[in-house]
Chain A
Amino acid sequence: MEQETLTVVARIQEVDRLRCALRRIEDEVREARRSHDPLHEFPFDALEKLHFARLVIVEDTASAPTLEPRLVLATDFDGTREDHLAELVARAEKALDQVFGCCRGYPSSGSRADKVEFLRNHSVEPICTYRGHPGRSVGQIRLEEQLRKELEDVLDRLDARAARDPWSECRRQVEGPGSAFRWALSPAPPTRLTRAEKWWLRARTLWGLRGDLFRVLRDLPILLAAERTDGDAFVRRERDRGRDGSAMQRRKDAAALRRALEEREGRCVQNELTSVTEIRPETFRRRALEVMLRIANLRARTRFDRGDLAGIPSIHFARWVILEHAADEPKRDRLLFLTNYDGSWESYLGDFIDQAADRLTAIWGHTRHFPPTRRIFLGGAHHEALFKRFVREHQLAAQVWYAAYPDLSVQNVNRNSELRLGLGAGAPTPEERLRWLDLF
């Protein structure tokens, strides 16, 4: 089944009331992670197709913010966006009223259709998305994990006769009378694009990009010159900060922010990261950023569709969204990056830097306060300490974060699918059976 995303962005009117409502929801979600009780405040768990959800107040992290705070509702789900919107309003109307009721223009007393309409009108299309286990529905992910546990038990109990051909024994158990796992023998839905679809997508994307690609190449000399002046400005600012005595305050602010983020991280296998950065105002910067992200979006579908993004094996979902300024705000746009990943922040950032520093630089190099870049791809994220500081300084702690299968890693999900696939295969050779058993 196709996995989709929804990103609703609404300008906040009553921020204090909103924070209270979000805290109530989050407290319950956290508690349920331990107790496994059903959710009432915002019944995410009643949405059977929902992988991840977060509610986050997006605001500038810089000292002189120019963006009016926005509430962002971001979800990853199976099926179409229209079905998701309808289900969201049907199941969680009360919660939506509470949170979006604090935002401009929400039809609190309107009909459900009005509310769906509000969410649809306020949703923003991401410019780039990545999926770590494409095509796997929430139901399939959960069932395949149960299947693995069942098969592990079968393997633990093998007697001498069955140990001669464990694959057949597993298969027998799953086929057997009373087995709850017969579904595993039916073929899994396709998870990746076919070769032809990939070629079609490549052609379509590049054709759509042709004008901008040409302009980016034309502007390259300007871009390279801008890189140098922006880099110099960065170094100057660092120096001044060391001198003007603001360093201490800055450290304290950074420490407080870091603690707020760390307080939320590392509580289960998965974590969330929300980052908001300001896109540099020049047109050539914005255009180069968009081209990079559109190409990244294409690569995520054609090349990185097997569970790793440029060598990073721990990302369930990631999306980049461009947040435009409103007519009554200063002309500054933001790049919003949302991801759900496995393991610690330190290891995620380490992977980012060690595996994909070039690509990160080519994207975030067009946003303000990024460490100095060289030739678009170099410098930047290669400065490990500066880059980590940049990420922390632009990170927001999502007020509410829900995960449907918080104890499974991307590698778990993908390997479980391989298990199921190998079990349903017609008549594997002895070598194939051995390799299947190696998956445990």
Chain B
Amino acid sequence: MARPLLGPEYVVDCGDVQGIVLRGYGELPVARFVMLDLGDAREAKSWLGDVATRVTSAREEPAERCTNFGISYRGLKKLGLDASVRAAFEPAFAEGMHGGPELDDGASPASGSREPSRRSRALHDLDDQSPDRWAWGGPSAPVDAILLLYARSDDAMRECLDRERGSFSARGIRAVTILEGVTLPGRKEHFGFRDGISQPALRNANPPTERPGVLEADRDENTAEPGEFLLGYPDAYAQIEDGPLVPESADPSRILPLAIDDAAGARSLGRNGSYLAFRQLEQDVAAFWTTIDRAANGDAAERLRLAARMVGRWPSGAPLALRDKEDDPSFLDRNDFGFAAEDALGLHCPIGSHIRRSNPRDFGGSGDPARALVVSSRHRLIRRGRPYGAPLDPDLDPAKILARSGSGESIDGGRGLQFLSFQAHLERQFEFVMESWIHNAKFGGGHDETDPLLGDRGDGFARFTVPARPVRRRLGSLPRFVSVRGGAYFFVPGLRALRWLASGA
């Protein structure tokens, strides 16, 4: 249960937090995400005990490779975690990203009927995007746990993967799928734009920030309370969400940290843990650039300008809010800007652009920038995404991408983004951003358009407005650029919680 903050200042216990939550592991360019089915889970605990010895904390400087671990609600059930303990996890986590049948109380799952679940409606996983069609994570290919592996080289990854595979297959655990994560030049995603720039800084967390100078901890409005991303710390409302507690009797060897409210005589399974929203998003790079090229009548400069208007940043990462006319790599990774005073009409950075929708900063609501900033600060995400698949063009150059798309040569669809976001509240953070901002047709006073990159293109929602004077420009008939191939919610426990889960208790 959440309580108002009573105690002293809290310092984040980085040695107990898994590394990926607080560090991006940017220095380890090769990643693999192993989605696991624990089988009948008889040996799952012994395997977990083995994994726990390798999991790296946020305090450790990454060496050759790093291993992190997350578990879904279904996985916790298989491990035999008591129902009364499980019940304290967030409902969205319990239902899973597909909103399906892992319920305890015998209520009929929404996915049995044709009706999309509440989760699917919030995330707009509807019709051809619905979880029944996912390659993994949907009702037909559920996932119990995830191994997040990061390595400095392909060789190191191969070694790491072999070792993990040996460890889990020997115990009857099966990989549902192994997803890759790569690093593209300039830390770009497949459309050709630098990604993962805006990240909140954590108050009272020390070490991390894997890219010094990128996290603008100096700008107070970008500094978030640790409780927004980790259970067991004060959040933006000065409450502490303990998450699941276990009675002291269930932890005889005192592995777990004490609950904040020690009067409850309980130990905390949640503390230092975080929820992970994982989505495999396939990007149709050819469709993206062909559509924009048509709208720009083949003009290369205009093409780039329009694409940047959709994203909100130039390919280098320079924000349109600061660099309106053309790309300027010296502005790369700049994140010290707002929209309310500088660009209320969206003449530089369109109101509906991807970066404004995913973090409106000081713009929105009734128009008071200070209040809007407070609202935005309640919905921040720590993003740890990695692209996957070979780029359509090694230089990510739109002209070459267009040449390839137009050449009639078949282009395989296997590229996109493994989207990962960490937060302490799935519903208030990740799902809110998706439902109320990204997919909200009324965002910023709009009428009938959704996110230009991620947007759902239902009837009449295939538009994007580029504000301009005297007259705005409306792009119409946009096709879908991004499709969901799979997804799941995981709990990424603290290291001590992980050891407790592996223990006999």
Instruction: Report which A residues bind B (CB closer than 8 A).
Output: 148, 152, 155-156, 158, 163, 166, 238, 242, 247-248, 251-252, 255-256, 258-259, 262-263, 265-267, 269, 308, 311-313, 342-344, 346-347, 350-351, 353-355, 382-386, 409, 411-412, 415, 433-434, 437-438, 440
Residues of B within 8 A of A350 (CB): 375, 378-379, 428, 432
Which of B110, B118, B241, B432: most chain A Cβ within 10 A? B118
Please pick, from A163, A251, A311, A382, the residue contacting B87 in the complex, using a CB distance under 8 A.
A251
Task: Answer whether residue B403 sits at the interface, using C-beta atoms and an 8 A cutoff.
Answer: no
- Residue B180 CB within 8 A of the other chain: no
Instruction: Provide the bound-state CA to CA distance between A440 and B469, in Å.
Output: 11
Interface membership of B7, Cβ < 8 A: no
For the complex, is B166 an interface residue (Cβ under 8 Å from A)?
no
Question: When the two chains form the complex, which single residue of B118, B122, B366, B378 contacts A263, counting CB atoms closer than 8 Å?
Answer: B118
Nearest opposing residue in chain B for A265, CB measure = B118
Q: A263-B110, A409-B442 are in contact. Are A346 and B428 (CB under 8 A)?
A: yes
Report yes or no: B442 in contact with A163, Cβ–Cβ below 8 A: no
Contact A351 B365 (CB under 8 A): yes
Residues of A within 8 A of B374 (CB): 354
Contact A343 B118 (CB under 8 A): no
Q: Is the CB of A347 within 8 A of B84?
A: no
Looking at A263, A311, A382, A438, which has the most chain B CB atoms within 10 Å of its CB? Answer: A438
Q: Is the CB of B84 within 8 A of A247?
A: yes
Please give the distance in Å from A438's CB to the nearest CB on chain B. Answer: 5
Cβ-closest chain B residue relative to A343: B436
Among the stretches B63-71, B293-301, B310-318, B470-478, the one at the interface with A is: B470-478
Chain A nearest CB from B81 CB (Å) reads: 14
Inter-subunit contact B368/A385 (CB<8 Å)? no
B394 interface residue (CB < 8 Å to A): no
Which residues of chain A come closer than 8 Å to B432, judged between CB atoms? 344, 346-347, 350
B18 contacts chain A at the CB level, 8 A cutoff? no
* Pair count A-B, CB < 8 A: 120
- Pairwise interchain contact A152-B474, C-beta atoms closer than 8 A: yes
Bound: A438/B442 CA distance, A: 17
CB neighbours (8 Å) of A252 from chain B are 104-105
Most chain A CB within 10 A, of B91, B122, B431, B471, is at B471
CB distance from A240 to the nearest CB of B (A): 12
Query: Given known contacts A266-B122, A355-B365, is B237 in contact with A383 (CB within 8 Å)?
Result: yes
Shortest Cβ-Cβ A-B pairs, 3 listed: A385-B2, A384-B237, A409-B442
B343 within 8 A of A: no
**Contact assessment for B118 and A255 in the assembled complex, using a CB-CB cutoff below 8 Å:** no
Q: A346-B432, A354-B375, A355-B371 are in contact. Are A437 and B1 (CB under 8 A)?
A: no
Interface membership of chain B positions 122-166, coded 1 if the CB is closer than 8 angstroms to chain A and 0 otherwise: 100000000000000000000000000000000000000000000
Find chain A residues with CB under 8 A from B435 CB: 266, 344, 346-347
Task: Please tell me if B427 contacts chain A, counting CB pairs below 8 Å.
Answer: yes
- CB pair A354–B378 under 8 Å, yes or no, is yes
Q: Which residues of B contact A313 (CB under 8 A)?
A: 365-366
Instruction: Flag if B474 contacts A156 (CB, 8 Å).
Output: yes
Q: Is the CB of B436 within 8 A of A346?
A: yes
Task: Give the contacting residue for B471; candidates A148, A163, A248, A259; CB below 8 A.
Answer: A163
Q: Which residue of A lies closest to B235 (CB)?
A: A384
Q: Which residues of B contact A251 (CB under 8 A)?
A: 87
Q: Interface residues of A: mostly helix, strand, loop or mixed?
A: helix
A-B contact pairs, 16 of them (CB 8 A): A252-B104, A263-B110, A265-B118, A311-B371, A346-B431, A346-B432, A347-B436, A350-B379, A355-B371, A355-B375, A384-B2, A385-B241, A411-B442, A437-B469, A437-B472, A440-B472
Q: Which residues of chain B are within 8 angstroms of A347 by Cβ–Cβ distance?
A: 432, 435-436
Which partner residue on chain A sits nearest B103 by CB separation?
Answer: A255
Give B residues with C-beta under 8 Å from A.
1-2, 4, 83-84, 87, 91, 103-105, 107, 110, 115, 118, 121-122, 237, 239, 241, 264, 345, 365-366, 368, 371, 374-375, 378-379, 427-428, 431-432, 435-436, 440-442, 445, 447, 465, 467, 469-472, 474
Contact across chains for A383 and B471 when beta carbons are under 8 A apart: no
Chain B residue with the shortest CB-CB distance to A309: B366
- Central interface residue in B104, B105, B465, by most chain A CB within 10 Å: B105
Complex formed: what's the CA distance from A263 to B118 in Å?
Answer: 6
A253 to B401, CA, bound (A): 55
Please, which residues of chain A bring their CB within 8 A of the CB of B379? 350
Please pick, from A155, A412, A438, the residue contacting B447 in the complex, using a CB distance under 8 A.
A412
**Whole-angstrom distance between the Cβ of B262 and the nearest chain A Cβ:** 13
Given contacts A343-B440, A351-B365, A383-B239, 4 further A-B contacts (CB under 8 A): A166-B471, A255-B91, A434-B470, A440-B465
* B470–chain A nearest beta-carbon distance, Å: 5
Cβ contacts under 8 Å, A163 to chain B = 470-471
Q: B442, A269: Cβ atoms under 8 Å?
A: yes
CB of B146, distance to nearest CB on chain A (Å) = 25
Cβ–Cβ contact B87 & A415, under 8 A: no
Contact yes or no, A344 B2, CB < 8 A? no
* CA gap between A434 and B471 in the complex, in Å: 8
Q: A311-B365, A347-B436 are in contact. Are A437 and B470 (CB under 8 A)?
A: yes
Residues of B within 8 A of A148 (CB): 447
Set of chain B residues within 8 Å of A242, measured between Cβ atoms: 1, 264
Contacts of A433 in B (CB 8 A): 470
Q: Which residues of A contact B239 (CB under 8 A)?
A: 383-385
Hey, which chain A residues are within 8 Å of B107, CB to CB?
A: 255-256, 259
The interface centre, meaning the residue of A158, A312, A354 with most chain B CB atoms within 10 A of its CB, is A354
Q: Give complex CA distance A148, B469 in Å.
A: 18
Task: Name the A residues within 8 Å of B378 (CB-CB).
Answer: 350, 354
* Contact with B366, one of A256, A267, A311, A344 (Cβ below 8 angstroms): A311
- In Å, the complex CA distance between A312 and B367 comes to 10
Who on chain B is nearest to A347 by CB? B436
Q: Are A258 and B237 in contact (CB under 8 A)?
A: no
B427/A346 in contact, CB under 8 A: yes
Chain B residues whose C-beta falls within 8 Å of the C-beta of A384 in the assembled complex: 2, 237, 239
Determine if B368 and A412 form an interchain contact, defined as CB atoms under 8 angstroms apart.
Answer: no
Docked complex Cα distance between A320 and B103 (Å): 36
Q: Are A248 and B467 in contact (CB under 8 A)?
A: no
With both beta carbons as reference points, the residue of chain A lying nearest to B88 in the complex is identified as: A251
CA distance A46 to B280 in the complex (A): 47
User: Which residues does chain A contribute within 8 Å of B470, judged by CB atoms?
Assistant: 163, 166, 433-434, 437
**Cα A353 to Cα B236 with chains together (Å):** 12
- CB-based nearest A residue for B375: A354
Residues of B within 8 A of A266 (CB): 118, 121-122, 435
Minimal Cβ-Cβ distance residue in A for B240: A385
User: Do the beta carbons of A354 and B122 come within 8 Å of each other?
Assistant: no
Q: Are B472 and A248 in contact (CB under 8 A)?
A: no
Name the CB-closest residue of B to A262. Answer: B118
| Contact indicator A269/B441 (Cβ below 8 Å) | yes
Instruction: Give Cα A353–Cα B474 distance, bound, in whole angstroms.
Output: 35
Q: Identify A312's interface contact among B366, B428, B467, CB under 8 A.
A: B366
